[in-house]
Amino acid sequence: ITQLYRLLREQHPAFLDLGTRGTDINTLLRTFSSALDALNPLRNRASVAHPNDELLELPEAMLVINVARTLLHYFDTRISASNMVES
């Protein structure tokens, strides 16, 4: 997932121009790649995605869910905005 994230961020036309604070946004997006690295083992070893003896507690599970939702929402918004400009 980290490799796909990087490819999307670096090669999708919607992410080529991130506006007036693009450098800062790019820094923020790079830091989220670390969060994505942490999501993989949590999903595989601490969730119901696979059989596991120990699961995340509710507050940590909500943190994981909200990180993923935040990134997906940003991607959707950025790509949708880019598509509207192109139309």
For 16-65, the pLDDT digits (tens) are 999 999 999 999 999 998 898 888 888 888 888 778 788 889 999 999 99
Q: How confident is the model at residue 87 (pLDDT cuts 50, 70, 90)?
A: low
Residues 22-38: b if buried by 16+ CB within 10 A, e if exposed: eeeeeeebeebeebbee
The DSSP secondary-structure symbol of 52 reads -
pTM: 0.82
How many whole angstroms separate alpha carbon 19 and alpha carbon 25? 9
Contact predicate 65/58, CB 8 Å: no
CA atoms of 24 and 27, how far apart (whole Å) = 5
Contacts of residue 62, Cβ cutoff 8 Å, sequence gap at least 6: none
